[in-house]
Amino acid sequence: MPAHRMNSSLTLPTELLTEIFQLCDPDLADRDVRYASDIPLMQEHPWLLTRVCQRWRALALSTPWLWRYIDVNISLHSAGVLQLVSLFLERSSPCPITLRLTGLNWYSNTLVLERLISASDRWEHLKLLGSVSMVDALESVRGKLPQLRCLETDVSEMEWGSRPRVIDLFADAPRLRRAVTLRRYGVSYILPWQQLVNYKGPMLNDLEATLERLTKFSRLVTLDMSRTSSEYSESTTEYPIVHLPHLRTLSLRTWSTDPDDVINHLCLPALVSMTIDCSSVDICGAITALVDRSHCTIESITLALEMDEEMDTSLILVLASTPQLKHLVLEASHFSDDLLIGLTPPNVLVPRLETLELRDGKFDQNLLLEMVEARFASGEGALRRLGLSLDVNDIQHELVRRMDVLIDLGFIVERLQN
């Protein structure tokens, strides 16, 4: 075949092919730890690259990082799993690996588990979904995780009422920086808290225990905590303020009404972004006090609130305390006229606001239009994007017409899903 008629993908420079391989990198690192995988290793993307042509095959087989993602459902009895796991480990050597290990019934696949354990010194990102007994089966990796940087776990006792378990298997992982521990009945963790930069996990069931845990996070930059049960022990005891000097992003979510208890005991001078989801009537006051106490510069706020007249006033005070705010997301049943008027020039709250999202709530569409038009016309630092979750039957013709004019001028309007 003449050279000019050859498939261009077969004649690409090796450097460009390598970049293409990188773009084909799998999303195993983003696969949700909560859902067991049934994807056989034979379907992972390195095999696809080996089937294009002989040159692609040779390059794929000699590129270790292509084989560093190993996703195994230990409960499946697929033929050849041990051989495939060994093949991935050999071809990925000496690269650090990402291991996603799922399943409850690991007993019939002990050889697979042993083979994975033999490479524990290369585990960089570990995702576990299963029972505590599977964690017990990994006991031999204790103290042998020199590369582990990210840990995500969703493990539970097999039976309700089993004795509480404290998992300390990963307490000695010198490079661990990110941990996600999903809450399950009867399971808690001991981790090298002082090393962590990013942590997502449950609030503990009383304020003292939660604050004690927070005092250990001396290097934390991102914190995401939630309480999924209504069990919470209130306390009248005075506790000292917890200083987290490096924390930039805070997320608190709860079904109960008391996250303000935690916020009232924090000082976060580096805080830039905050997400709060709760129904406490005092939460806005707690946020305002936190900002004042911390002397921080908040640029992004996401609030999901139970709005009433008192909360309207408190929310306006929050916005008044965050003049550097650029991104604001509000989720509530309604948004008051006072709020929209407060956001409208000339005496405007949050003058640097660039993005505004109003989720799930009703509002006066004329006041919204006046606010958006005035802010968009204000020039540099003006509002550039608006997100709304509106039922199509609630959208007024005038809102559509005037938003179309703004869109033609470069304004961005996005309809959000309810």
Kindly report the number of other CB atoms within 10 A of residue 149's CB atom: 16
Predicted confidence at residue 80, as pLDDT, reads 79
Q: Does 188 reside within a domain?
A: yes
Predicted confidence at residue 317, as pLDDT, reads 93
Cα–Cα dist 338/314, whole Å: 11
- The yes-or-no verdict on residue 69 having pLDDT over 80 is yes
Q: Which domain holds residue 135?
A: 12-192
Cα–Cα dist 93/65, whole Å: 8
- Both tokens assigned to 120: 């524990």
Predicted confidence at residue 381, as pLDDT, reads 64
> Strands (DSSP E) along 85-149, which ranges?
97-102, 123-131
Average pLDDT across the chain, whole number: 83
Condensed to tens digits (0 to 9), the pLDDT of residues 231-241 reads 555 556 788 99
Answer for the pair 230, 257: CB distance below 8 angstroms, yes or no.
no
Condensed to tens digits (0 to 9), the pLDDT of residues 152-166 reads 998 876 555 567 788
pLDDT more than 90, % of the chain: 46
Cα–Cα dist 27/136, whole Å: 28
Which stretch of 153-162, 201-210, 276-285, 400-409 has the lowest confidence by average pLDDT?
Answer: 153-162
- The yes-or-no verdict on residue 41 having pLDDT over 80 is no
Q: What is the mean pLDDT of the segment spanning 35-60? A: 65
Q: What is the mean pLDDT of the segment spanning 3-29? A: 60
β-pairing, 249-254 vs 273-277, is: parallel
Q: Does 51 reside within a domain?
A: yes
- The yes-or-no verdict on residue 191 having pLDDT over 90 is yes
Condensed to tens digits (0 to 9), the pLDDT of residues 70-121 reads 888 887 766 678 888 898 899 889 999 999 988 776 666 788 889 999 999 9
CA dihedral 135, 139, 140, 146 (to 10 degrees): 70
Predicted confidence at residue 413, as pLDDT, reads 92
Predicted confidence at residue 307, as pLDDT, reads 66
Predicted confidence at residue 236, as pLDDT, reads 61
Predicted confidence at residue 4, as pLDDT, reads 47
Q: Does 50 reside within a domain?
A: yes
> Strands (DSSP E) along 142-256, which ranges?
150-156, 165-167, 178-181, 187-189, 198-202, 222-227, 242-243, 249-254
| CA atoms within 13 A of residue 326's CA, in its CB half-sphere | 6
Q: Does 394 reside within a domain?
A: no
Cα–Cα dist 181/183, whole Å: 6
Residue with the bigger pLDDT between 200 and 80: it is 200
Comparing CA positions, the residue from 86, 198, 209 lying closest to residue 151 is: 198
Predicted confidence at residue 293, as pLDDT, reads 97
The runs of H, that is alpha helices, within 154-297 are: 207-214, 259-263, 283-294
Q: Does 399 reside within a domain?
A: no
Answer for the pair 224, 199: CB distance below 8 angstroms, yes or no.
yes
Q: Does 97 reside within a domain?
A: yes
* CA 49 distance to own-chain centroid: 30
Answer for the pair 380, 408: CB distance below 8 angstroms, yes or no.
no
Q: Does 215 reside within a domain?
A: no
Residues 6+ apart with CB under 8 A from 320: 349
Count structural domains, the chain: 1
Q: What is the mean pLDDT of the segment spanning 408-413? A: 93
- The yes-or-no verdict on residue 205 having pLDDT over 90 is no
Cα–Cα dist 75/69, whole Å: 19
Q: Does 405 reside within a domain?
A: no
- The yes-or-no verdict on residue 59 having pLDDT over 70 is yes
Cα–Cα dist 384/256, whole Å: 35
Predicted confidence at residue 3, as pLDDT, reads 47
Q: What Rg do the C-alpha atoms of the chain give, in angstroms?
A: 26
- 341 — phi, psi (to 5°)? -65, -40
Which stretch of 25-34, 53-62, 309-318, 347-356 has the lowest confidence by average pLDDT?
Answer: 25-34
Condensed to tens digits (0 to 9), the pLDDT of residues 116-145 reads 999 999 999 999 988 888 888 899 999 999
Residue with tokens 């056989």: 40
| AA identity, residue 271 | L
- Residue 249 backbone class (left: φ over 0; alpha: ψ -120 to 50; beta: rest): beta
Cα–Cα dist 319/327, whole Å: 11
